[in-house]
């Protein structure tokens, strides 16, 4: 949909994710996990700028790219994503997620690192509005993952001068049962977010409400990029 609207789109798989050939045993830190995005940003032409869109844990991928390459990013869009601040460690919002939704967080950490219970858990949380065939495909393609809490808790804080200089917009997914709306709004309140749009999507907005999500991204880009 974004390409049909005239945009060039690059969808990256992080380390040990999607078709990336690394295994999770080789990816011990968030920096290692984020290498594909950092390499992509480093390879951009000097005068080229991009709009970054991050979903869920991907908000932290965006944040590290914003800290390292603020001059190459015209806009960062967070879609029911973890949005860190400049006061706490990068792990802080993940820790709030675990603290506020302990049962859901523990279930998520359990199923992303194992093969059991994934489809049942995700149907009741992240994929509650998503067509069942999309969840079935996701279950077949699933790979083990990590929240990288330990490495994020030791990482440097993001800075107002670099991370904070990039324009940030946020898409709140009001039917998200994983990263619940109150946590999404908590993260927005702790950041200088330019604009917020809401859509009635579950956690997997790209599957449950793709047209509405696309319109949000296009509107943000038109106004702020």
What pLDDT does residue 113 have? 61
How big is the CA angle at 56 (ends 51 and 59), to the nearest 5 degrees? 45
pLDDT for the residue 115:
58
- Would you state the pLDDT for residue 119? 84
Residues 6+ apart with CB under 8 A from 71: none
Q: Tokens representing 21?
A: 């050939």
Residues of the chain falling short of pLDDT 70: 109, 111-116
In this structure, the chain runs to a length of 225
How far is Cα 72 from Cα 166, in angstroms, rounded to an integer? Answer: 9
pLDDT value at residue 13:
96
The residue whose two tokens read 């330990």 is 150
Which residues are catalytically annotated? 56, 176, 203
pLDDT for the residue numbered 101: 78
Specify the pLDDT at position 116.
65
Q: What is the pLDDT of residue 111?
A: 67
| End-to-end CA gap in the chain | 18
Q: How far apart are CA 166 and CA 114, in angstroms?
A: 36
The phi and psi torsions of 170 (rounded to 5 degrees) equal -140, 135
> Among the residues of 101-204, which ranges form H helices?
102-112, 118-124, 132-141, 149-154, 181-189
The torsion angles phi and psi of 74, rounded to 5 degrees, stand at -85, -25
The reported pLDDT for the residue numbered 103 is: 72
Cβ count near 221 (within 10 Å): 18
| pTM for this model (two decimals) | 0.94
List, in sequence order, the alpha helices (H) in the chain. Answer: 30-33, 35-43, 58-68, 92-100, 102-112, 118-124, 132-141, 149-154, 181-189, 205-208, 210-224
Neighbour order of strands in the sheet with 73-79: 50-55, 73-79, 168-173, 195-199
Contact present, 215 and 222 (Cβ < 8 Å) = no
What was the pLDDT predicted at 106? 74
């Amino acid at each position: 949909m974004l390409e049909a609207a005239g945009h060039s789109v690059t969808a990256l798989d992080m380390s040990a994710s999607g078709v990336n050939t690394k295994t999770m045993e080789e990816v011990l830190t968030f920096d290692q996990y984020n290498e594909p995005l950092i390499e992509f940003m480093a390879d951009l032409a000097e005068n080229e700028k991009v709009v970054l869109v991050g979903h869920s844990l991907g908000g932290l991928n965006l944040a590290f790219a914003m800290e390292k390459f603020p001059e190459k990013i015209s806009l960062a869009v967070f879609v029911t994503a973890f949005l860190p601040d400049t006061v706490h460690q990068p792990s802080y919002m993940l820790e709030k997620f675990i603290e506020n939704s302990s049962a859901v967080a523990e279930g998520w950490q359990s199923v992303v690192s194992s093969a059991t219970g994934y489809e049942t858990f995700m149907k009741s949380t992240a994929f509650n509005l998503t067509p069942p065939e999309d969840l079935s495909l996701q279950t077949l393609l699933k790979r083990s993952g990590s929240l990288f809490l330990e490495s994020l808790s030791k990482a440097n804080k993001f800075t107002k001068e670099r991370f904070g200089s990039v324009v940030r917009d946020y898409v709140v997914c009001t039917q998200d049962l994983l990263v619940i709306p109150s946590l999404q709004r908590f993260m927005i309140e702790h950041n200088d977010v330019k604009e917020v749009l809401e859509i009635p999507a579950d956690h997997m907005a790209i599957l449950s409400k793709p047209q509405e999500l696309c319109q949000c991204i296009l509107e943000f880009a038109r106004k702020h990029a």
